[in-house]
Amino acid sequence: MTEQDAIEFGKKVIDLGLKDDTHTFCETAISALEKQIPKEPIYDYEKIKKHMNIGIKAPYCPICKSDVLGENNDCFQYCMECGQKLEWG
């Protein structure tokens, strides 16, 4: 079962209308599984000291918009703020 299959299954369980711990569990599981599906960072122009005080197109998390480039220009595999898995195309 892929992450996407599990997400679809969880949504079907939620659609049953159960209002107990099962509903909460499925919502939490879906949220966590969606973060495991890699997404490409978004790029925006910025000028900050961290990047040698020059204007560059800096990568940001597509979910929470946090900076996903490390101090040494390392590309994070996951967003350090929200946990979204990143795909560096």
- pTM above 0.85? no
Q: Which residues contact 33 (CB under 8 A, 6 or more apart)?
A: 3, 6, 7, 10
Please check whether residues 49 and 83 belong to one and the same domain.
Answer: yes
* Domain shared by 55 and 68, yes or no: yes
Q: Name which residue leads in pLDDT, 71 or 82.
A: 82
Rg (the chain; Cα; Å)? 17
d(CA 89, CA 72): 19
Per-residue pLDDT, 14: 92
Domain of 79 in residue numbering reads as: 39-89
Residues 55 and 20 in one domain: no
> Are 84 and 61 part of one and the same domain?
yes
> What average pLDDT does range 33-52 have in this prediction?
77
pLDDT of residue 71: 77
- Contact partners, residue 50, CB within 8 Å, separation at least 6: 67, 71
Instruction: Please write the tens of the pLDDT for every residue from 44-77.
Output: 766 444 555 556 678 899 999 898 888 777 888 9
Are 45 and 85 within one domain? Answer: yes
Confidence of residue 26 (pLDDT cuts 50, 70, 90): very high
Q: Are residues 15 and 54 in the same domain?
A: no
> Are 29 and 66 members of one domain?
no
Task: Clarify whether residues 62 and 25 are in a common domain.
Answer: no
Same domain, 7 and 23: yes
For the chain, the domain total comes to 2
